[in-house]
Amino acid sequence: MPETAVTRIRHGSSIGQPLTRRDGLLKVTGAATYAADNHPEGLLHAVMAVSAIARGRVTHLDVAAAEAHPGVVAVMRPENAPKLAQHPDKKDNPFAFRLDLLQDANVRYANQPIAVVIAETVEAATEGARLLAPRYEAEAARTALDTDTPFVPPAVGAGEEPSASTGDVEAGLTAAARRIEVAYETPSQYHNAMEPHAIVAAWDGDRLTLDTPSQALAMAQGRIAGLFDIDPKNILIRSPFLGGGFGSKAGAAGPQVLGIMAAKLAGRPVKLVTRREQMFGPVGHRAQTRQTLRMGTDGEGRLTALEHRTLTASSTYDDFFEPSGGVSHTLYASPNISATHEAVRLDIGTPMFMRAPGEASGSAALESAVDEMAEACGMDPLAFRLKNYAEIEPISGKPFSSKALRECYAQGAERFGWGSRNPAPRSMRDEAGLLVGWGMGTATFPALMMQAEARAILRADGRGAMLIGAHDMGQGAWTALAQIAADSLGLDLDAVTFEMGSSDLPNAGIAGGSAHTATAGSAIHEAGRAVIAQLADLATNDEASPLFGAGNAGVIARDGSLLRRDDESRGERFSEILGRAGRAEIVATAKSASDPAARDHYAMHAHGAVFAEVKVDPELGQILVSRLVGAFAAGRIVNPRLVRSQYYGGMIWGVSFALHEHAVTDARSGRIMNASLAEYHVPVNADVPSIEAILVEEDDPHVNALGIKGVGEIGITGTAGAIANAIFHATGIRVREFPITLDRLL
């Protein structure tokens, strides 16, 4: 990748520098290629036809009409779809989801792919798909949470359990001086990445080349290999840039696999781009929830009990559940806590991980309920949270590896001016007569670590390279991981060739769970150390080196030189060491490391505090978020500019959650009525006038060698609740259904 001038670091280390994105220039000039920008020789275009019913079967497709349209090459449907080596309902890893790949005529949700039209042009394929004019045998769609008997779902992903508890909630409630029971509802939300799921697929015998966005290259490679019975090594996935993923581009989604099947059927390369409305179904979503919280407090406002019950939606054919109660495991101290989940099978596409899965919806409800409890106690919401501050993780009883939440509260409150809040609802107005409300919420997200591998190279010319199949969804991996690479090699960033975004590089695991910088960064750090150790071996065993006899541990790498730890004036350049040893290059591969004993002993989370100001028109109910201040502590900050940008993005998503996002389902047809960015609202610039993120210092010696916790998702948590609480403070009206819209304030 070409480098840009802003990447130059002359002194000190790269980690911690506020570099601008190294890929920024490529993106703003249009030079960065996304999946759909690829046009191999002989390319055909595929367009999906999707179901207009939510349950039943397809009884007829007018294949002849579509095939007769000029330019149409084939209509892929259950009768002629290439046979798969493995049924797509088979799960080969905990993150695999059942896919709809034209195996039969059954329809499990609205917008399910029912055919793919392949043509010489995208226009011909689009018209061909229209000409199919499907007919159906439809059954009544189940789309509401009270349609069916709930079940207790199995653990999701890497082990999010459906229930956890400590103590005796009933006893705690009985003993309480005050109690509340409140139910909150959150709607279905859909991943609306700017870049839809697109793929360009080309077969060459049993080799497959794919240009497609991926948050988990090796996992997608494994899934596709299983479906087509080919060696994963024969699949090359190129994913240098993603236009957002939000969880929906981990694993391979159905439309991507359909593109591969279409290329197989046609015997030519095929491009398939999911249309915006087709994103509402086959690629996952955040499930709707109904969360019931019961809390009790003693005479001083201490929680005697906290119960968080979640009822959520799953599909008829898979088991994912939205783990909303997870936040109640960790955030507030109480001797009696219970968090449970149940799900109902609905005729919807399988819900999936979506940006702070669980924490986003869970903290929206928990932070609102905590505000209600504080109100019931007549306490300031911040004072109430400090009174119930968890010094250890409440259910597990583990100490925190680090927790600078008190500092987040203090710095956020100070910056926001929380101290001058009039506690009475409806007591504050601005000069224009609008009602002003101030609310707050606590932010939290686990500091996860996954598995990754990286390869480090040092060359005789003194330059280094770091290779890792990492993923940049827009969060800045191209920059942040390269900064870690430079420091790990003891080189300026300019002296390092950094490669990522392709499946032929070492497996970087998943860009998810806000763990990518920690995980991939840790692999990079270890690979750098390993190659420097090789270099040190060469030097310290060479009588001609000023480092001779210093021992491997007695040297440090800096600015392209190895130096004696005990006398930094003595050392030599990497190039001299390699040159004298006659080595063109040295290479080391290493895996990410996290200490299992530390993971066992400590609870690891990032924390934050979000303060929101809203203005509400007393006559019209119109709501504006006029100010957001977030203060977050997430361990070591690799690049403060990018981290601030992640917090902004997260907090804006919080605005979205509180006020905008809502997929509306028609109860009769089971179809989503607002499957477009015109009607599925997300915030625009005018919705977010002022936003600040404070980076609170936090040193964590336990999470991983670099002390990185992750910053991608935490900004959403806390923010939605803070806004809901600010709306209550402005109006005296408590809305318990998200998104909060103006009609509810009238």
The site for ligand MOS (CB under 6 A) is made up of 215, 245-247, 353-355, 357, 512-513
Task: Count how many Cα atoms sit within 13 Å of the Cα of residue 125 in the half-sphere of its side chain.
Answer: 26
| Paired tokens of 35 | 């999946």
Q: What is the nearest approach in angstroms of ligand MOS to the Cβ of residue 344? A: 22
Nearer to ligand MOS, 387 or 516 (CB): 516
User: Which residue lies nearest ligand MOS, judged by its C-beta?
Assistant: 247
CA dist 178 and 373 (Å) reads 8
- Among 479, 555, 470, 482, smallest CA distance to 510 is for 470
Q: What is the nearest approach in angstroms of ligand MOS to the Cβ of residue 327? A: 15
Q: What is the nearest approach in angstroms of ligand MOS to the Cβ of residue 317? A: 21
Nearer to ligand MOS, 74 or 651 (CB): 651
Q: What is the nearest approach in angstroms of ligand MOS to the Cβ of residue 355? A: 5
Pairing of strands 163-166, 337-346: antiparallel
Nearer to ligand MOS, 246 or 611 (CB): 246
Q: Which residues neighbour 13 within 8 Å (Cβ) at sequence distance 6 or greater?
A: 486, 487
CA dist 220 and 201 (Å) reads 14
CA dist 48 and 196 (Å) reads 13
CA dist 365 and 502 (Å) reads 39
Nearer to ligand MOS, 265 or 508 (CB): 508
Pairing of strands 113-119, 44-50: antiparallel
Our answer to whether residue 713 is catalytic in this structure is yes
Q: What is the nearest approach in angstroms of ligand MOS to the Cβ of residue 393? A: 21
Pairing of strands 44-50, 270-273: parallel
CA angle 501, 507, 510 (to 5 degrees): 75
Burial grade of 676 (CB within 10 A; 0-12, 13-18, 19 or more): middle
CB 108 within 8 A of CB 282: no
Q: What is the nearest approach in angstroms of ligand MOS to the Cβ of residue 644? A: 20
Q: What is the nearest approach in angstroms of ligand MOS to the Cβ of residue 77? A: 32
Tokens 């179901």 -> residue: 51
Q: Is the dihedral of CA 62, 68, 72, 76 positive or negative?
A: positive
Nearer to ligand MOS, 99 or 156 (CB): 156
CA dist 57 and 370 (Å) reads 46
Neighbour count for residue 679 (Cβ, 10 Å): 12
Nearer to ligand MOS, 128 or 446 (CB): 446
CA distance between the termini of the chain: 55
User: What are residue 364's phi and psi, to 5 degrees?
Assistant: -60, -45
Nearer to ligand MOS, 216 or 467 (CB): 216
Cα maximum dimension of the chain: 85
Neighbour count for residue 687 (Cβ, 10 Å): 16
CA dist 151 and 163 (Å) reads 13
What does the DSSP assignment read for 85-110? Answer: SS-TT--SSTT------SSSSEE-ST
| Paired tokens of 74 | 């084939």
Q: What is the nearest approach in angstroms of ligand MOS to the Cβ of residue 663? A: 17
Nearer to ligand MOS, 246 or 416 (CB): 246
Q: What is the nearest approach in angstroms of ligand MOS to the Cβ of residue 35? A: 17
CA dist 288 and 311 (Å) reads 9
Spot the catalytic one: 3, 526, 713, 737.
Answer: 713
CA dist 410 and 383 (Å) reads 11
Nearer to ligand MOS, 355 or 615 (CB): 355
Pairing of strands 106-107, 691-695: unpaired
Cite the active site residues.
713
